[in-house]
Amino acid sequence: MKNASTKKQRKSFQLFLYILPFLLLVAVFSYYPLYGWVYAFYDYRPPKPFSQAEFVGLKWFKSLVENPVKVKQIIQVLKNTFAMSALTLGTSWLPMLFAVFLNEIRCVPFRKFVQTVTTLPNFVSWVLVYSIAFSMFNSTGMANTLLMNLGIIDEPILFLQSTSHVWFTQWLWLTWKNLGWAAIMYIAAINGIDDELYQAAKVDGANRMQLIRNITIPSLLPTYFVLLMINIANFLNNGMEQFYVFQNSFNKEYIQVLDLYVYNTAMGSGSYSVSVAISMLKSVVSVVLLVGANKASKAIRGESFI
C-alpha cells in the first residue's frame, strides 16, 4: 500500500517536471519584472548599469507631489485618464442596447451581416485604425473633400491635430472598434431567454417596446453588471497603444493618459525611475479597484468575477 502511494507521488512529481518549463516562463515574464519596482527607489539612468545607480529612497515619489511642473502635468494626465474612462463607463450600456435592437431585426441574413461587419473593427490593430483615421480625416481625406464640395468649409480642417474634443473623438474611435464585439455577450444572453416569457407577454397584449423594457433588458442586467464591475476595475488601465498612435505634438496635452505618460516619461525623457514610480502607484490602485469591484459584485450579486 505504501509502495503504491510513493509511486503515485513520484508520478505526480514527474508530471510537475513536464510543466516546469512553462511555469518558468510565467515566472520570468510575469513575476520577475516585479523586481524592477526597485528602480523607483534608485536614480537609474541608462545606459549606466543599475549597479552604479544611487539609492534615493522616496525622492521620486515626493517629486510627484512637490515639484510644481510635475504636479501640473500629472493633474492633466489624471484628468485625461478620468475623462476617457468616465466616458467609457457612462456609455457602457451602448453594447447592450445594440444587442437588444439587433435582436429586433427579423431578417436573419441581414442580422448576421450586421453582426459580422460591426465586429470586424475589433480585429484590426490600433495602427490600422489610425491609418484609417489618417486616410479619411487628413487635409485631402474624404471628410475634408466632402465638406468642401458641399461648400460648408473653404479650407481643410486638420481634424487629427485638433486640440478640442480630443477625449470625445478618442471615445468615438474606441466605440467604433469595440461596440459590435462587446455586443456579442449580450446577444448570447438574449438567446438564452426563455421564449415562453415573450409568448405570455404577447398574449397579454404587450407591444415590442414593452417586451424590450420588461423582459429583454431586465434579463440582461446581470451580464451588464458584471461587465460594469470589470470596467470599473480597469478604470486606470486605458492602455497606451490607442493614444500612442493618435498622439502628436498638438494634441499631446489632452491625449496623454496614465499608461501613455508612463511610457513617454521613460522612453521620451529617459526618466526611468520616475516612470516606474508612477506605474507602481498605478498598479497598486488598480489592484485595490479590482478587489473592491469584486467585493461589490459579491455583495450585490452573490458571485465574484475573479
Partner 1 sequence: MKKSKTKMKQSFGDRMVGVCCYIIFILCALVCVYPFYYIFINTISANDLSARGVILFWPQGIHFKNYVSALQIDGLFQATFISVSRTVIGTVCTVGASAFLGFMFTQDVWHRKLWYRMMVATMYFNAGIIPWYLTMMNLHLTNNFWGYILPAIVSPFNVILTKTFVESVPRELQEAAEIDGAGTMTIFTRIMVPVIKPIMATVAIFSAVNQWNAFQDTLLLMTNTKLYSLQFILYQYLNQASSLKALANSSSGGNSLAAAASTAQTATSVRMTVTIIVVVPIMLVYPIFQKYFVKGIMVGAVKG
We find the least distance from the C-beta atom of residue 256 to partner 1, in angstroms, to be: 15
Distance CA 45, CA 39 (A): 10
Tell me which residues in 171-230 interact with partner 1 (CB under 8 A).
Answer: 176, 179-181, 184-185, 188, 190-191, 195, 198-199, 202, 207-209
We find the least distance from the C-beta atom of residue 73 to partner 1, in angstroms, to be: 17
Exactly one of 7, 8, 72, 295 binds partner 1 (CB under 8 A); which one? 8
**Within a 10 A sphere around the Cβ of 42, how many other Cβ atoms?**
19
55: helix, coil or strand?
Answer: strand
Q: Report how far apart, in Å, the C-alpha atoms of 302 and of each of 170, 188, 222, 236, 248 are.
A: 35, 22, 11, 25, 46
With cell 493633474, the residue in question is: 75
For residues 274 to 303, the per-residue mask of contacts with partner 1, x marking binding by CB under 8 A and - elsewhere, is: -xx--xx-xx--xx--x-------------
Tell me which residues in 85-124 interact with partner 1 (CB under 8 A).
Answer: 98, 101-106, 110, 113-114, 116-121, 123-124
Tell me which residues in 137-166 interact with partner 1 (CB under 8 A).
Answer: 140-142, 144-146
Q: Which stretch binds partner 1 (CB under 8 A): 34-42, 53-61, 62-70, 81-89?
A: 34-42
Exactly one of 3, 5, 6, 12 binds partner 1 (CB under 8 A); which one? 12
68 vs 149, which CB is nearer to partner 1? 149
Query: How many degrees, rounded to 5, is the angle at CA 279 between CA 276 and CA 281?
Result: 110
Distance CA 160, CA 138 (A): 7
Cell of 99: 444587442
φ and ψ of 54, to 5 deg: -90, 140
